[in-house]
Chain A
């Protein structure tokens, strides 16, 4: 039986099931990095953007309808290297960094049993956890973001 995604209901709620997860997503084993809050077990950590917005009661961030039907909002954003994780964040203005709220980088190993990952583009990947997986328990805060 195919493994169920942890946020499958979110995908269905947003009517994304036809193209989400994306083609090419696959199980893999890699060291990954995610922008995080400290401590790692913060309730805000390792949530897809749609869930996070609901938790924080903030409107989803978008400026066109397409932004709200993005599969990535049902996944966890990660990087395949510490350097890429830092590089992307450093390209934002102070204002944006402040609003995003992330303060640290967490590192952890993703294995095949954890979920599926998208193609890596410029060091960035989306991770779709399987049901029952709590990736943040496998990650550790390793460094502040700035």
Chain B
């Protein structure tokens, strides 16, 4: 037997122990649940034997943890190494079940051979007795149902710099990516399944949108030492009027597991199979987040079901060559025209309307131009929600276009920072914001409102209410 380092004691300092059940057994007990006279729970775990003794490790455990173990949520190793106790006891039981060589061992002094593996999860059906007891303790049955169906994602850091923890940014990034991948998969699968039966495209889109809300992955389990999260989807709530989607809804998470998670992303054959079943656009939506997760430099991923009957560990990164099979490199779209701002100086006839100078006239009149990062855009009026603000002095805001052709309007003075897809939209939005700020602050007397109204008063000539929302010239 293994040599033990610990404090030799003459007897096991727990009285009135009686066995409740064997969790693991084969031709004799292997892991047994005991309670003491005060109904505190203990585990006996068989770890060694010789010609005279069987050696058992004995330690205290909470009932909640026992149930979590039986439900496959925590491993035997976690139960054993949980820092809720000073010692684990070792006892050598002889043929008459008398205790010999009782030793109190610090957890860190346990022989490595006695420590169960990380994946030492309980995989058998939960004994009825414990099912009943856990129900008696008012477990949330809805949550339990989701937990049973959930996929459990464990992120373990690639470097031990911060022990087994992963950064909050990594964890949140992971959740966002996996949720997006799942929701896109759900959309694709619903579309494929029902496109023949729901021929009204707008109705199909509407149902998909409703399901996106219902099936948004729910967090049903969290563990922080190695980030582990259980994600599940609701299979109970469904669209009111239609129950024919129920079976589809029930199976969607399993389908996602089979088609997206249980994949060897380094196998060319499996990737080509995916290509057969999904368009490039669908692959980008569903599989691209997965590739990003698997290639994250900070962590590696293991996915299991609740009982660990399903397990896939992703070790190593996905090569560029394999990625390109699944997600061919995008050819830059030629139609993408990058918008920029220019200041131009032109020669023109006095009184000429500059907005009408076009083509050749512009070319011949152009003296020089200069690219600008941003410009101050002036407003003489703001109009929105049936209100008009006329300014005696122009209100100016910073106006620029970013690398994605998104338009930005920013004003430190009024605390407005907005983004839009077009020039017209951004100017309209800026006016909306100004009017909204004016209307919501002009009757208030708090410090911030008064300061804001002081700013308005520097510019404002008049405020009027208008019945229609026509545009004013700037």
A66 / chain B contacts, CB cutoff of 8 Å: 19
B48 within 8 Å of A (CB atoms): yes
Give the interface centre of A57, A64, A99 by most chain B CB atoms within 10 Å.
Answer: A64
Closest CB of chain B to A123's CB: distance in Å?
10
The stretch that binds B, out of A4-12, A19-27, A83-91, A128-136, is A83-91
Cβ B124 vs Cβ A122 within 8 A: yes
A61-B49 CB under 8 A given contacts A67-B29, A100-B26: yes
Given contacts A49-B27, A77-B26, A96-B24, contact A64 B124 (CB under 8 A): no
* B contact residues around A90 at 8 Å (CB): 123
A20 to B123, CA, bound (A): 29
Residue A61 contacts which of B54, B113, B117 (CB distance < 8 angstroms)? B54
B53:A77 contact, CB within 8 angstroms: no
* Chain B hits for A73, CB < 8 A: 27-28
Q: Do A77 and B49 contact each other (CB < 8 Å), given the known contacts A90-B123, A95-B113?
A: no
Do A93 and B116 contact each other (CB < 8 Å), given the known contacts A61-B54, A63-B44, A64-B97?
yes
Q: With an 8 A cutoff between CB atoms, is B46 at the interface?
A: yes
Contact of A18 with B by CB under 8 A: no
B59 within 8 A of A: no
Tell me the residues in window 44-99 of chain A with beta carbons closer than 8 Å to chain B beta carbons. Answer: 49, 57-68, 70, 72-73, 77, 87-88, 90-96, 99
Closest A residue, CB atoms, query B30: A96
Given contacts A62-B29, A91-B124, A122-B124, contact A57 B46 (CB under 8 A): no
**A94 contact set on B, CB distance < 8 A:** 117
Is B430 in the interface zone, CB < 8 Å from A?
no
In chain A, positions 26-47 with a C-beta closer than 8 Å to chain B are 35
Residues from chain A with Cβ under 8 Å of B52 in the complex:
59
Range, interface on chain A = 20 to 34
Contact B120 A93, beta carbon cutoff 8 Å: yes
B24 touching A65, Cβ below 8 Å? no
Given contacts A57-B51, A59-B52, A122-B125, contact A65 B27 (CB under 8 A): no
Bound CA–CA A92/B125 (angstroms): 14
Inter-chain CA distance A93–B122, complex, in Å, is 10
**Bound form: Cα–Cα A140–B114 in Å:** 33
- Contact mask A87-121 → B, CB, 8 Å, 1/0? 11011111110011000000000000000000000
The answer to whether A91 touches B24 (Cβ under 8 A) is: yes
Report which of A59, A62, A91 forms a contact with B123, defined as CB distance below 8 A. A91
Contact A61 B114 (CB under 8 A): no
Interface residue ranges of B82-137 to A (CB < 8 Å): 93-95, 97, 113-114, 116-117, 120, 122-125
Which residue of the partner chain, among B24, B26, B27, B56, contacts A63 with CB atoms under 8 Å?
Answer: B56
A65, A87, A96: the one within 8 Å of B46 (CB): A96
Chain A residues within an 8 Å CB radius of B18: 64
B93-A63 in contact (CB<8A)? yes
Interface string of B59-95 (1 = CB under 8 A from A): 0000000000000000010000000000000000111
A63 touches B32 (CB 8 A): yes
Contact B93 A62 (CB under 8 A): yes
Q: Which residues of A contact B94 (CB under 8 A)?
A: 59
A62 to B30, CA, bound (A): 8
Minimal beta-carbon separation of B455 from chain A (angstroms): 70
B426 within 8 A of A: no
Determine the distance from Cα of A115 to Cα of B51 in the docked complex, in whole angstroms. Answer: 32
Instruction: Name A124's closest neighbour in chain B (CB-CB).
Output: B26
* Chain B residues within 8 Å of A67, by CB: 28-29
Is the beta-carbon distance between A99 and B48 smaller than 8 angstroms? yes
Which parts of B339-359 form the interface with A (CB within 8 Å)? none
When chains A and B are docked, how far (Å) is the Cα of A77 from the Cα of B93?
A: 24
Structural contact, A99 and B49, CB atoms closer than 8 A: yes
Q: For the complex, give the distance between the alpha carbons of A31 and B54 in Å.
A: 34
Q: How far is the CA of A93 from the CA of B123 in the complex (A)?
A: 12
B124 and A61 within 8 A (CB): no
Q: How far is the CA of A68 from the CA of B27 in the complex (A)?
A: 10
Q: Quick check: is B418 within 8 A (CB to CB) of the other chain?
A: no
| B204 within 8 A of partner (CB) | no
Nearest residue (CB) in B for A73 is B27
Q: How far is the CA of A44 from the CA of B61 in the complex (A)?
A: 37
Are the CB atoms of B122 and A91 closer together than 8 Å? yes
Residue B47 interfacial (CB < 8 Å): yes
A65 to B27, CA, bound (A): 14
Q: Mark B18-38, 1 if CB is under 8 A from A, else 0.
A: 110000101111101010000
Residues of B within 8 A of A (CB): 18-19, 24, 26-30, 32, 34, 44, 46-54, 56, 76, 93-95, 97, 113-114, 116-117, 120, 122-125
Can you name 24 A-B pairs with beta carbons within 8 Å?
Answer: A49-B27, A57-B51, A58-B49, A59-B51, A59-B52, A59-B53, A59-B93, A59-B94, A60-B28, A61-B30, A61-B54, A62-B28, A62-B97, A63-B44, A64-B29, A67-B29, A72-B27, A87-B123, A88-B124, A92-B24, A93-B76, A93-B116, A93-B120, A96-B46
Closest 7 CB pairs of A and B: A61-B28, A49-B27, A91-B123, A64-B19, A93-B116, A59-B95, A63-B44
Having A60-B28, A63-B44, A91-B124, one finds 4 other A-B pairs with CB under 8 Å, namely A58-B51, A62-B93, A63-B54, A99-B48
